[in-house]
Amino acid sequence: MARVIEGLYYSESHEYVRVDGEFGYIGITDYAQNALGNVVYVDMPEVDDEVEAGEEFGAVESVKAASDLISPVSGTVVEVNDSLDDSPELINKDAYENWIIKVELTDKAELDNLMDAEAYQAFCQQ
C-alpha cells in the first residue's frame, strides 16, 4: 500500500499540498509515483508563474508514461525544486520530501475541496 501522510491535503489527481503558513508545497503522492514507475523528467513552471486550482502546471515523465500535474490550489510560484532537474528520481525515493513547487496561496478556502489522509487512502483503495 502506498504511503499516505497525515496533515497533508490530497487531490483526486494524486497531488498533495503541505501547508506552511501562507505557502503550499505541491508534489505528487506516493501512490502516483508508484503508478508512474521510474521518474525520468519533471516539467515545472517558472518562479512568479500563477497556478490555478484544477489547472495543469507541469508534467512528470517516467519510463512508462507521462502525467500532467494538476494544481490542487491557486497561487503564485515562489520556488521550484531545482534538485529535480538533475535528479528527478528523488520523487521515487520519497515523494513527500521531494515537493515540486512552492506557491504563495491565493485562497486557503480551496483546501476545503481537498481530501485529508484518511479520505485519500480510501479513495486510492476504490
3-state SS of 72-96 is: CCCEEEEEECCHHHHCCCHHHHCCC
Which amino acid, one-letter code, is at 31?
Y
Lookup: cell for 98: 521531494
Report the predicted TM-score, pTM, of the whole model to 2 decimal places.
0.97
Which amino acid, one-letter code, is at 82?
D
Exposed (0-12), middle (13-18) or buried (19+): which is 87, by Cβ within 10 Å? middle
Q: Give the pLDDT band of residue 2 (cuts 50, 70, 90).
A: confident
CA angle 43, 96, 55 (to 5 degrees): 45
Summarize pLDDT for 72-105 with one digit per residue, the tens: 999 999 999 999 999 999 999 999 999 999 999 9
Q: Which helix (H) or strand (E) holds 15?
A: strand 15-20
Say if residues 110 and 73 touch (Cβ distance below 8 Å): yes
Summarize pLDDT for 21-51 with one digit per residue, the tens: 999 999 999 999 999 999 999 999 999 999 9
Lookup: cell for 118: 484518511
CA distance 50 to 31: 26
Alpha-helix residue ranges (DSSP H) falling in the chain: 30-36, 83-86, 90-93, 117-125
Mean pLDDT of 62-67: 93
> For residue 28, what pLDDT is reported?
98
